[in-house]
């Protein structure tokens, strides 16, 4: 029983992590329909940024977070302006390839700059865990979970309740018509990619200290993020958040009660199963024919 | 109010508009008719900034807007209700209407206008929360018209507003267009229902293969034998 | 004239081992050839049915494992005391089985995901590949897991009873890869330039419309998946017997990415696209290796990819075709600004 | 004056880049040291370093290139087992020997490839070295958490066998994916088990995470790590207090160079490593590159000529004082086609209060 | 005319989307060789009815039968192969392909070659392809877009795209054609041309179910009209009766519409 409770606690913690990875991609992949292979690199970028600020420059970890978010915003805007804008009108696979190219360049640049050796960041959080009955979790991870939930809520409000959010959705549903409504579609493209990127950087900034930071940390992060976004239904923020927790649950119970070798397989089997039952994700949108 | 001179528009190497000149006076309803592929939609697209003309000028209230982007054109008071509905498929009816008022800030005015549109198209009121992509074709067309009106335009460009609408709704739409004129705004419309369009307009142009073939008062064009044969099926 | 280009290319390729002295380059030709075959198979799905399989390496890997295990033999205990024992068979059977079983897996994936499209299909294929990789990694008894299958015999050509010839050497393997490549090309060509090919393309363009004219979309998607997987399996088998060792690293995501790069830069939905893209991205690593530092090699590789797409967004082959076939009167669809036409 | 080329086939990009780079830098130190002393057979050594991209296909291609293009008579490589295994058929094809410096898979020396000479210990060797220390420790039941590759699985198997022989129970064997960052699910399960000791085998980054996450779960078991690349300094730096009390089986103990088998060489190597500005924790990996090149140099010297067959034969006769013990090759694998395996020393160290100590037993 | 045989029978069909009733309880019959028009206000459920008939939507209840065969549970392509082919209200063509290739694709069901023929490119494959080419030209000529055969479908003017949509449907060799607003976006003359095409099709014995808001046309071509409102049939009968039906005038035609319908 206590093991089970610990697994559930782990699920919450890990689910928060996954949800955080997913929401940035929901904007870029779910709404913009850009298969964003740089997501993992922006995540890595955020992590290295925190390392730079808190370990190299010796500034406060809590300061590093907002700065990393802003840096992600800027880098995302640059990627959009330099790589995506010229590709406007190209189809999704072609854009994807550009993003793969960008990923290769970014990942190896990171390695060139930082070397392949993993870095770690120390945080102001106590190293002794928070113990509640049979369950024990690290303070840092609780902080990450809380931040993840806050960022999810903020993104949800942004997309569904604000004018900017409406303009974003409108732009990617029908660019010309959005322009006719007075939306500056170029600015929206840049803004959406930048915001999505900054969320990835935020995830890196929060999780980098929880894990270790290396040029390859983005690889599985990307893969999981894609899975989560699709599990939740493209462009659906709440879907992505719930998808993150479901994936975490599948992995946690898979490793705990089936076999740790098949831990990741459990996650992917769940995804396959969900898509077989609901081919457009858990929270599919209505569509019509004719 | 609107003065188009010598406009040329191309898709790649093909010129869809060769050299078009026309003018629209304030407070008028002007109709643009022509066969399939004559370039009517192209004309409206270049007016609203969706297409950049390769030659020619578009003067609106004394200013050349030929190279303005769609938002800039909209800010000057021109709204374009595009051919084939183009509602935002994953947004609700209400959100679509809100998008129509994207550049406006007067909350009260927006709410009032929305209420008026719901009054004009009760069907939309019934479906305010429905995702627009699941509306029927005609419902989407009503939404597109309503959305265009949400910007309180000085000049409305309608591209086939009656497309896919039931006869009684078509009637309603023409009433609305007349009302727009009565309210002091101006309308330039492309309509396949040429008879109705010519009947109600103040002035009309006939576009054929990218050039203006003839123009005149609506009633005059109705009587024009060529127009009769080619567009009124008579 | 255009019809003879493939024939000339094959004829030229056939002369390569005769004048190329450098075994390292020949090795690059062979591995590139193997991945090009895999890329051709991916193109069938991506370029013609419009379904992006980012788990394509699964079929490649399955082909490799099936072929290797057929040739090596195995002894697996399925459940208590129930053993499945397989004695080694000649490699040629492995090759055929690789094609058949990879094709069956293609059938499975096609059938399973018959309702999912686009991004959802992508993730189903990725998931499938990951699950297969994890099985290869964890079913140690069968696959040796991470311990790798070693001493895989090279391809033997011949017929039972008549005699065999081992292809240890590069030249033999080269011709083998070339031969399989040509067959794969012809199969794909015949398929896509037919009623079946049109059905696949219809599925990509407008599925409801395809259905409405009576095209059994699922059936053609499944068919494309089968053929595509089978060809990828053949490539995997070639890989296993050429490299002569395989481990779960064969499911490396990077390999799928390599295939995708080859298809898209070359020109998806064109027959020659994967071949041209394959040749190019087989050559680039070899070229940059000679002058750049390791990370820089990758950076150049990525930058080059981006550059190609910027200059030729449709890929190389369509650009060349447009160059040589100027039909000035034909209207082109201007996709950029204003696609305000109802669809 | 001509030089003697030595091929170096290492992962310099991709997931194993950090380790491959360490090993390559160690190799450079050895080559420079030897060249400063006049080289081998009166010729300078020249390292031809190629990146295998952490990718087996590339590793095979690199071997091919080193042999056919650069005409190296001997190669060092290729770090990971799958990289080494992929290179091995090429060695047979071209009959060129390779010194394996890191890979741990048992198959490398048992599959009948006479061109293979390995200086890193497979886990069976490590387990055997650990065996005499077991009775002096308090271990009743052991769980394993290992990286899901040949190395981790081999360790779980070999150590498990050895421990059972010592009448110690073996409980769970949990694996973690090579790239996994979150092991709390496995650790929660291990936490709930009744074993008193957890043996962990993986690379240092993942080890750091395991220790941190185990601490976060409030796990109180004795943790022993195997594999020799666990790099205690990095652990102390990165895992902080979570590393306290953990025990490690190491193959090189640079923090006490005086107690290593070859103190002089160890000091030289460590000094040079620091002088070149590499980070100290890297020495526990890079020393293999250093030892590897020195072993190859010794073989060339013995062979008297830089030719593959002569070097292969000479490997059997080398006796080098390596940084962690004598390097001499024993025969392994099917007779007539044996590979060489050297048996290095294994140390037991403990992290106490942020410092490395060698427990006295 | 031969004896009246029901071709398509719709019995107690209902469609619900969540809480929304798109079709309440629909019953009608289309007789063989007949041209029946289905009209009604926007959102009345006409397109939905098409979707149900052609297998794109499963009805919440009820049954559709074509020439005695129940269509329940059949997939769209199966329905099409029974000879029941529809066009779409939203213009649907294969945009990136030439007009000719569009029709060739539409001719899918007429191909005779099997997989083996195709893979080995046997004579039967070549013969079949040749037949399809000929058939494609015939259809293009019939519909009147043969001059645009080599243009890209997506670049055609709207009206021609709609004609191509019809050509695609005809390519599937229908015995019954379901047209969803085929002349929307066409002017009176073009509509006239389309009506002549309809007449030709009827001469070939094709059964037609037409949805259209163009009253002059509907009144001109229909044998019978069924009027739908809010998913229910509110009137059924010959054009003359329908255009005078007060309920239809109130819900659908409007005063002016009624006048114009009478004009036709
Ligand atoms: N996106 C495009 N790419 C290429 N050519 C186009 C494109 N859009 C329109 N055209 C061409 O431009 C010409 C004018 O088209 P336009 O849509 O303006 O005609 P229209 O008068 O509005 O016709 P309709 O009555 O059918 O709407 C046509 O010949 C058409 O084929
Ligand atoms: N997928 C769906 N989800 C929700 N509502 C739907 C869906 N499809 C259709 N509807 C609703 O069902 C009703 C019937 O739609 P349908 O498209 O059949 O109308 P129609 O009679 O074809 O109208 P029109 O003349 O405007 O084309 C409409 O009110 C529409 O909003
Ligand atoms: Mg138009
Ligand atoms: Mg409809």
- Residue D53: which region, alpha, beta or left (left: phi > 0; alpha: psi -120 to 50)? left
- E165 in a structural domain: yes
Find out whether the beta carbon of E20 lies less than 6 Å from any atom of ligand 2: yes
- C111 in a structural domain: yes
CB within 8 Å: E90 and A286:
no
Q: Are residues E68 and E112 in the same domain?
A: no
Ligand 1 pocket mutation pick from C329, C331, C339, C340 by most atoms within 8 angstroms of CB? C331
Atom of ligand 2 nearest to the CA of E41: 25
Q: Which residue lies with its CA nearest to atom 12 of ligand 2?
A: E22
Shortest Cα–Cα distance, C327 to chain B (Å): 12
- The label of the residue with tokens 């959802």 reads C120
Q: Which residues contact A104 (CB under 8 A, 6 or more apart)?
A: C298, C299, C301, C302, C305
Using an 8 Å CB-CB cutoff, list chain A residues near C338: 176
- E15 in a structural domain: yes
Which of B14, B15, B37, B44 should be substituted to probe chain C, the one whose Cβ sees the most C Cβ atoms within 10 Å? B14
Distance (Å) of CA A51 to CA A58, A200, A202: 9, 16, 13
Question: Is C326 or C339 the better-scoring residue by pLDDT?
Answer: C326
Shortest Cα–Cα distance, A26 to chain D (Å): 22
Q: At which of E139, E173, E207 does a domain end?
A: E173
Nearest to E39 by CA among E262, E260, E217: E217
Using an 8 Å CB-CB cutoff, list chain B residues near A176: 50, 70, 82, 86
In chain E, the number of structural domains is 2
Shortest Cα–Cα distance, A89 to chain B (Å): 15
Find out whether the beta carbon of B134 lies less than 6 Å from any atom of ligand 2: yes
CA distance C281 to C307: 13
- The token pair at C171 is 């030249």
Could you list the residue range(s) of the whole structural domain that residue C233 is in?
Answer: 2-252
Lowest mean pLDDT among A15-24, E114-123, E222-231: E114-123
Could you list the residue range(s) of the whole structural domain that residue A58 is in?
Answer: 2-215
- A27 in a structural domain: yes
Residue A115 has pLDDT above 90, yes or no: no
CB within 8 Å: E185 and B135:
no
Find out whether the beta carbon of E43 lies less than 6 Å from any atom of ligand 2: yes
Burial classification of residue C323, based on how many CB atoms lie within 10 Å of its CB (0-12 exposed, 13-18 middle, 19 or more buried): exposed
pLDDT for position C343? 26
Could you list the residue range(s) of the whole structural domain that residue E65 is in?
Answer: 1-83+174-264
Ligand 1 centroid to residue B107 C-alpha, Å: 38
pLDDT for position D351? 87
CB within 8 Å: A290 and E17:
no
Distance (Å) of CA A21 to CA A38, A149, A197: 13, 12, 11
Q: Which residue lies with its CA nearest to atom 30 of ligand 1?
A: E157
> Average pLDDT in the E129-158 region?
90
Q: Which residue lies with its CA nearest to atom 25 of ligand 2?
A: E42
Atom of ligand 2 nearest to the CA of B127: 31
Shortest Cα–Cα distance, E111 to chain A (Å): 26
CA distance D148 to D135: 28
- A239 in a structural domain: no
Atom of ligand 2 nearest to the CA of E51: 18
Residue C168 has pLDDT above 70, yes or no: no
Q: Which residues contact D50 (CB under 8 A, 6 or more apart)?
A: C289, D7, D8, D9, D10, D62, D65, D66
Ligand 2 pocket mutation pick from E47, E87, E210, E232 by most atoms within 8 angstroms of CB? E47
Find out whether the beta carbon of A289 lies less than 6 Å from any atom of ligand 2: no
- Mean pLDDT rounded to a whole number for chain D: 88
Give pLDDT tens digits for B13-57.
888 999 999 999 999 999 999 888 889 999 999 999 999 999 999
- A101 in a structural domain: yes
- Mean pLDDT rounded to a whole number for chain E: 90
Q: At which of E155, E173, E191 does a domain end?
A: E173
Q: Are residues E237 and E258 in the same domain?
A: yes
In chain A, the number of structural domains is 1
CA distance D58 to D290: 24
Using an 8 Å CB-CB cutoff, list chain A residues near D194: none
Residue B75 has pLDDT above 70, yes or no: yes
Length of chain B: 234
CB within 8 Å: D191 and A6:
yes
Ligand 3 ion local residues (Cβ < 5 A)? B 41, 83
Lowest mean pLDDT among A259-273, C125-139, C215-229: A259-273
CB within 8 Å: B86 and C337:
no
- A281 in a structural domain: no
Are C24 and C170 a contacting pair, CB within 8 Å? no
Residue C113 has pLDDT above 80, yes or no: no
- E156 in a structural domain: yes
CA distance B127 to A51: 52
CA distance C321 to C44: 19
Cα radius of gyration (chain E): 19
Q: Are residues E79 and E178 in the same domain?
A: yes
Q: Are residues E71 and E188 in the same domain?
A: yes
Are E2 and E207 a contacting pair, CB within 8 Å? no
Element (H, E) at E64: strand E61-66
Band of residue C1 on the pLDDT scale cut at 50, 70, 90? low
Atom of ligand 2 nearest to the CA of B139: 26
Q: At which of E173, E192, E213 does a domain end?
A: E173
pLDDT for position A136? 86
Share of chain D above pLDDT 90, in %: 37
Between strands B78-81 and B155-159, the pairing is parallel
Find out whether the beta carbon of B48 lies less than 6 Å from any atom of ligand 1: no
Q: Which ligand is nearest to the CA of B169?
A: 2
- C315 in a structural domain: no
In chain C, the number of structural domains is 1
- Which of D12, D82, D151 is the closest to C247 by Cβ? D82
Residue E17 has pLDDT above 70, yes or no: yes
CB within 8 Å: C196 and E128:
no
What DSSP state is assigned to residue C154?
Answer: P
ipTM of the complex: 0.90
* Sequence spans of domains, chain B: 2-231
Find out whether the beta carbon of E96 lies less than 6 Å from any atom of ligand 1: no
Share of chain A above pLDDT 90, in %: 33
Find out whether the beta carbon of B84 lies less than 6 Å from any atom of ligand 1: no
Between strands E35-39 and E224-229, the pairing is parallel
Band of residue C329 on the pLDDT scale cut at 50, 70, 90? very low
Band of residue C138 on the pLDDT scale cut at 50, 70, 90? confident
Are C336 and A88 a contacting pair, CB within 8 Å? yes
pLDDT for position C327? 53
Instruction: State the pTM of this model.
Output: 0.91
Band of residue D182 on the pLDDT scale cut at 50, 70, 90? confident
- E88 in a structural domain: no
- The label of the residue with tokens 């809480």 reads E19
Superfamily of domain B2-231, CATH level 4: P-loop containing nucleotide triphosphate hydrolases (3.40.50.300)
Give pLDDT tens digits for D272-313.
989 998 888 788 888 899 999 999 999 999 998 899 999 999
Alpha helices in chain E (DSSP H): 46-53, 76-81, 99-106, 115-120, 123-143, 158-171, 188-203, 215-221, 239-242, 246-248, 254-263
Ligand 2 centroid to residue B134 C-alpha, Å: 7
- A224 in a structural domain: no
Q: Are residues E262 and E187 in the same domain?
A: yes
Residue B203 has pLDDT above 90, yes or no: yes
Find out whether the beta carbon of E155 lies less than 6 Å from any atom of ligand 1: yes
- C292 in a structural domain: no
Ligand 1 pocket mutation pick from B41, B84, B85 by most atoms within 8 angstroms of CB? B41
């Amino acid at each position: 029983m206590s093991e089970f409770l610990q697994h559930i606690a782990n699920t919450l913690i890990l689910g928060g992590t996954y949800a955080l990875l997913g929401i940035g991609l929901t904007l870029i992949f779910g709404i913009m329909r850009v298969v964003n292979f740089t997501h993992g690199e922006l995540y890595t970028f955020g992590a290295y940024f925190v390392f730079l600020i808190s370990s190299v420059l010796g500034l406060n970890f809590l300061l590093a977070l907002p700065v990393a978010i802003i840096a992600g915003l800027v880098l995302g805007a640059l990627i959009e302006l330099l790589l995506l804008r010229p590709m406007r009108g190209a189809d999704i696979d072609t854009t994807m390839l550009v993003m793969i190219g960008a990923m290769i360049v970014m990942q190896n640049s990171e390695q060139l700059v930082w070397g392949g050796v993993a870095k770690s960041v120390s945080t102001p959080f106590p190293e002794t865990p928070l113990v509640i009955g049979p369950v024990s979790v690290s303070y840092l991870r609780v902080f990450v979970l809380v931040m993840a939930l806050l960022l999810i809520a903020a993104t949800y409000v942004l997309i569904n309740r604000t004018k900017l959010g409406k303009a974003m959705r409108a732009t990617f549903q029908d660019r010309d018509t959005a322009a006719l409504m007075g939306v500056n579609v170029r600015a929206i493209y840049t803004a959406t990619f930048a915001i999505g990127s900054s969320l990835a950087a935020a995830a890196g900034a929060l999780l980098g200290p929880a894990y270790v930071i290396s040029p390859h940390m983005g690889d599985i992060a990307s893969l999981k993020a894609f899975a989560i976004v699709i599990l939740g239904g493209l462009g659906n923020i709440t879907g992505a958040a719930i998808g993150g927790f479901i994936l975490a649950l599948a992995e946690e119970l898979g490793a705990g009660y089936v076999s740790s070798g098949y831990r990741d397989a459990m996650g992917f089997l769940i995804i396959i199963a969900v898509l077989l039952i609901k081919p457009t994700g858990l929270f599919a949108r209505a569509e019509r024919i004719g | 109010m609107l003065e188009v001179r010598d406009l040329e528009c191309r898709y790649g190497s093909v010129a869809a508009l060769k050299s078009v000149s026309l003018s629209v006076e304030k407070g008028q309803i002007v109709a643009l008719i022509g066969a399939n592929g004559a370039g009517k939609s192209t004309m409206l697209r270049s007016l609203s900034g969706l297409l950049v003309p390769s030659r020619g000028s578009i003067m609106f209230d004394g200013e050349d807007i030929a190279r303005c982007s769609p938002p800039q054109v909209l800010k000057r008071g021109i709204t374009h209700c595009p051919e084939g509905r183009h509602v935002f498929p994953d947004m609700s009816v209400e959100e679509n209407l809100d998008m129509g008022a994207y550049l406006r800030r007067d909350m009260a005015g927006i709410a009032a206008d929305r209420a008026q549109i719901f009054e004009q198209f009760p069907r939309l009121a019934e479906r305010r929360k429905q995702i627009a992509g699941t509306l029927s074709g005609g419902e989407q067309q009503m939404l597109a018209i309503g959305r265009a009106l949400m910007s309180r335009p000085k000049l409305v460009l309608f591209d086939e507003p009656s497309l896919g609408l039931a006869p009684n709704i078509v009637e309603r739409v023409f009433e609305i267009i007349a009302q727009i004129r009565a309210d002091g705004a101006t309308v330039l419309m492309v309509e396949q229902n040429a008879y109705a369009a010519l009947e109600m307009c103040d002035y009309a142009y006939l576009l054929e293969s990218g050039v203006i073939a003839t123009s005149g008062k609506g009633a005059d064009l109705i009587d024009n034998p060529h127009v009769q044969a080619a567009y009124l099926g008579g | 004239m255009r019809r003879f280009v493939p024939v000339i290319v094959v004829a030229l390729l056939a002369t390569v081992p005769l004048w190329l002295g450098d075994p390292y380059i020949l090795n690059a030709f062979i591995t590139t050839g193997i991945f090009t075959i895999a890329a051709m198979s991916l193109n069938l799905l991506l370029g013609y049915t419009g379904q992006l399989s980012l788990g394509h390496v699964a079929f490649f890997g399955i082909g490799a494992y099936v072929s290797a295990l057929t040739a090596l033999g195995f002894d697996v205990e399925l459940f208590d005391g129930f053993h499945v024992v397989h004695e080694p068979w000649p490699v040629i059977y492995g090759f055929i089985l690789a094609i058949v079983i990879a094709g069956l897996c293609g059938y499975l994936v096609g059938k399973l995901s018959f309702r999912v499209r686009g991004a959802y299909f992508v993730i189903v294929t990725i998931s499938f590949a990951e699950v297969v990789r994890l099985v290869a990694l964890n079913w140690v008894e069968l696959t040796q897991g991470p311990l790798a299958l070693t001493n895989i015999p090279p391809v033997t050509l011949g017929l039972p009873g008549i005699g065999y010839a081992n292809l240890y050497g590069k030249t033999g393997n080269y011709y083998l890869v070339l031969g399989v490549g040509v067959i794969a090309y012809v199969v794909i060509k015949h398929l896509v330039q037919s009623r079946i090919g049109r059905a696949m393309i219809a599925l990509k363009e407008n599925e409801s419309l395809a259905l409405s004219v009576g095209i059994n979309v699922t059936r053609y998607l499944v068919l494309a998946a089968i053929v595509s997987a089978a060809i990828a399996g053949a490539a995997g088998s070639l890989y296993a017997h050429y490299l002569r060792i395989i481990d779960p690293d064969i499911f490396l995501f990077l390999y799928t990415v390599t295939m995708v790069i080859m298809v898209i830069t070359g020109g998806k939905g064109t027959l020659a696209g994967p071949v041209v893209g394959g040749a190019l991205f087989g050559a680039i690593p070899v070229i940059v290796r000679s002058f750049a530092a390791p990370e820089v090699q990758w950076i150049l590789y990525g930058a080059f990819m981006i550059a190609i797409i910027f200059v030729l967004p449709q890929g190389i082959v369509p650009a060349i075709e447009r160059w040589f076939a100027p039909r000035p009167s034909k209207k082109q669809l201007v996709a950029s600004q204003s696609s305000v036409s109802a669809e | 004056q001509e030089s003697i080329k030595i091929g170096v086939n290492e992962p310099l990009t991709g997931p194993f880049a950090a380790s491959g780079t360490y090993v390559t830098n160690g190799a450079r130190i050895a080559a420079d040291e030897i060249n400063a002393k006049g080289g081998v057979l009166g010729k300078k050594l020249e390292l031809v370093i190629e990146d295998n991209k952490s990718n087996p296909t590339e590793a095979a291609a690199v071997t091919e290139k080193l042999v056919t293009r650069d005409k190296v008579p001997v190669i060092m490589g290729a770090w990971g087992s799958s990289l080494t295994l992929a290179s091995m058929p090429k060695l047979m094809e071209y009959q060129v020997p390779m010194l394996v410096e890191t890979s741990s898979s048992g198959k490398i020396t048992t599959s009948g490839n006479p061109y293979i000479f390995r200086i890193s210990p497979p886990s069976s060797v490590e387990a055997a070295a650990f065996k005499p220390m077991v009775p002096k420790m308090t271990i009743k039941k052991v769980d394993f958490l290992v990286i899901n590759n040949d190395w981790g699985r081999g360790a779980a198997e070999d150590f498990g066998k050895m421990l059972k022989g010592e009448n110690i129970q073996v409980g769970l064997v949990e694996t973690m994916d090579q790239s996994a960052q979150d092991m709390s699910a496995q650790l929660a399960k291990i936490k709930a088990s009744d074993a008193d000791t957890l043996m962990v085998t993986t690379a240092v980054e993942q080890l750091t995470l395991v220790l941190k996450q185990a601490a976060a779960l409030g796990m109180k078991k004795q943790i022993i790590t195997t594999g020799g690349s666990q790099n205690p300094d990095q652990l102390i730096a990165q895992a902080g207090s979570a590393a306290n009390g953990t025990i490690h089986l190491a193959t090189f103990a640079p923090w006490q160079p005086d107690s290593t088998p070859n103190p002089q060489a160890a000091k030289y190597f460590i000094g040079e490593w620091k002088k070149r500005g590499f980070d100290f924790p890297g020495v526990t990996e890079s020393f293999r590159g250093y030892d590897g090149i020195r072993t190859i140099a010794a073989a060339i010297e013995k062979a008297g000529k830089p030719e593959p067959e002569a070097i292969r034969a000479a490997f059997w006769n080398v006796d080098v004082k390596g940084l962690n013990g004598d390097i001499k090759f024993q025969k392994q694998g099917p007779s007539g086609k044996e590979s060489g395996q050297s048996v290095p020393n294994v140390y037991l160290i403990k992290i106490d209060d942020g410092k490395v100590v060698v427990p006295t037993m | 005319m031969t004896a009246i045989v029901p071709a398509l029978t719709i019995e107690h069909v209902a469609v619900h989307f969540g809480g929304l009733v798109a079709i309440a309880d629909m019953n009608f019959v289309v007789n063989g060789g007949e041209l029946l028009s289905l009209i009604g206000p926007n959102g009345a459920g006409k397109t939905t009815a098409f979707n149900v008939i052609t297998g794109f939507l499963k009805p919440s209840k009820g049954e559709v039968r074509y020439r005695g065969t129940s269509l329940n549970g059949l997939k769209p392509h199966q329905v099409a192969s029974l000879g029941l082919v529809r066009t779409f209200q939203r213009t649907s063509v294969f945009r990136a392909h030439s007009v000719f290739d569009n029709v060739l694709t539409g001719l899918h069901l007429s191909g005779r070659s099997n997989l083996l023929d195709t893979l080995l490119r046997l004579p039967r494959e070549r013969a079949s392809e040749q037949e399809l080419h000929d058939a494609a030209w015939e259809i293009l000529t019939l519909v009147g877009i043969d001059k645009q055969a080599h243009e890209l479908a997506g670049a055609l003017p709207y009206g021609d795209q709609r004609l191509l949509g019809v050509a695609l449907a005809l390519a599937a060799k229908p015995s019954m054609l379901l047209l969803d607003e085929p002349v929307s976006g066409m002017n009176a003359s073009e509509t006239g041309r389309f009506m002549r095409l309809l007449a030709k099709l009827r001469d070939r014995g094709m059964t037609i179910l037409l949805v259209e808001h163009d009253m002059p046309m509907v009144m001109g071509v229909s044998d019978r009209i069924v009027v739908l409102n809010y998913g229910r049939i509110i009137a059924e009968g010959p054009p003359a009766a329908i255009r005078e039906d007060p309920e239809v005038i109130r819900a659908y035609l409007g005063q002016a519409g009624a006048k114009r319908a009478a004009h036709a």
